[in-house]
Amino acid sequence: MTLLKWALIAFVISLVAGALGFTGIASGASSIARILFGLFLVLAIVIVVIALAVGQAVF
């Protein structure tokens, strides 16, 4: 959950920076948030697939 937390922090930073007019910082924080969220999503899917392959119940 740490990656998701950092992605949310970067997203909030990009929103605040965009609202204040710092477009360079906003676009940088937005791209960082997008990368971290994508990495979190890929890792979550891999863990679910591995758990299903091993036979442990994920639900």
Q: What radius of gyration, in Å, describes the C-alpha atoms of the chain? A: 16
pLDDT at 28: 86
Residue 33: pLDDT band with limits 50, 70, 90: confident
Calpha distance 28→41 (Å, rounded): 20
Select the more confidently predicted residue: 39 or 18. 39
The DSSP output letter for 58 is -
Alpha helices in 1-59 (DSSP H): 2-20, 23-54
> What is the distance between the alpha carbons of residues 41 and 20, in angstroms, rounded to a whole number?
30
